[in-house]
Amino acid sequence: MSELRAIVVTGLSGSGKSTALDVLEDLGFYCIDNLPVALLPRFVELWRASDGQLSRAAFGVDVRAGHFLDDVPRVFHELRAAGVALEVLYLEASDDVLVRRFSETRRRHPAEDASGIAGAIGRERALLQTLRERADRILDTSAFTVHQLRDRLRELIEAPADATGLTVSLVSFGYKYGLPVDLDLAFDCRFLPNPFFVESLRSCTGTDPSVAEFVLGSDGTEEFLEHVLALLRFALPRYQREGKAYLTIGIGCTGGRHRSVVLAEALRARLADTGYRIMVRHRDMDR
């Protein structure tokens, strides 16, 4: 019997869990939302009885589970011991984004009481901390549109069959908008000359050849890339050896439009021969 791949989609209300389950269903996963955590091992029995017809499943688990969240450590251990390839995807967003999303949809927050939406978000973060600590992947959806979230999820889930066990995500960003919360490593390139102060380059982005030529030709850029690459070539196989499935690396400049974009693309090209699956996302390029 083939291995069962199971993804637990969890996280904060309003962060995009329903969208994630929709994407997974489109990708051929058998999806169940709000199943009590304690009942997940029962699903393994269904898998075994399916005689190979069921190979991919996804479960929505969130604060609605109430006291069943206490069962998370035990249940996840049981699933993995039963031969399930279990992944935990945790979605979150900043408080102000979550408040805005609930205001737009006018839906009631599942943890809301007399203290209002802000208090509900805080309680939910605390209640889901055990799940967050056990997440294989934490995805901040604050800056995503629904379409961008769908694309990002497809990238994460549909890894090619010949890829190694480690997926490396390179994220360019602007420090003025804050660090992405899901980073494992971050590199600051704000010391490099800024194309923003070149009139002919200001309105362009790092994907423009003229901006790339400016940044890559600047004093210190090549040496910086060599140092980063040396660290990554040393560290990536060790992360994989420890069983890490995803590694997110941030490259930040001031606004996230020029230098960080160029360097993320340069790192993608120079890591192409490592055998890892390399993905690039430019968080702030279009701001």
Residue 162 has which token pair?
A: 């010949």
Q: For the chain, first and last CA: distance in Å?
A: 48
Q: At 157, is the pLDDT very low, low, confident or very high (cuts 50, 70, 90)?
A: confident
CA distances for 237 relative to 146, 158, 231, 240, angstroms: 34, 22, 11, 5
Report the 10 Å Cβ neighbour count for 33: 14
Residue ranges of domains in the chain: 4-157, 167-282
Lowest-pLDDT range of 109-113, 176-180, 192-196, 202-206: 109-113
Instruction: Measure the CA–CA gap between 271 and 269, rounded to whole angstroms.
Output: 6
Bridge partners, 5 (sequence order): 56, 85
Q: What is the per-residue pLDDT across 118-133, written as a single tens digit (0 to 9) for each?
A: 888 888 999 899 899 9
Residue in 203, 185, 174 with CA at minimum distance from that of residue 247: 185
Indicate if the pLDDT at residue 162 is higher than 90. no
User: Which pLDDT does position 111 carry in this prediction?
Assistant: 75
With beta carbons less than 8 A apart as the criterion, state whether 24 and 104 touch. no
Tell me what percent of the residues of the chain surpass a pLDDT of 70.
95
Could you say which DSSP state residue 67 is in?
A: G
User: Which pLDDT does position 2 carry in this prediction?
Assistant: 62
Across the range 180-192, mean pLDDT stands at 92
Q: Strand ranges (DSSP E) for 142-245?
A: 167-174, 185-188
Which range in 43-52, 53-62, 178-187, 249-258 is most confidently predicted, on average pLDDT? 249-258
Tell me which CATH code domain 4-157 carries. 3.40.50.300
Across the range 66-88, mean pLDDT stands at 87
Report the 10 Å Cβ neighbour count for 76: 18
Residue in 196, 162, 178 with CA at minimum distance from that of residue 275: 162
Amino acid at 141: T
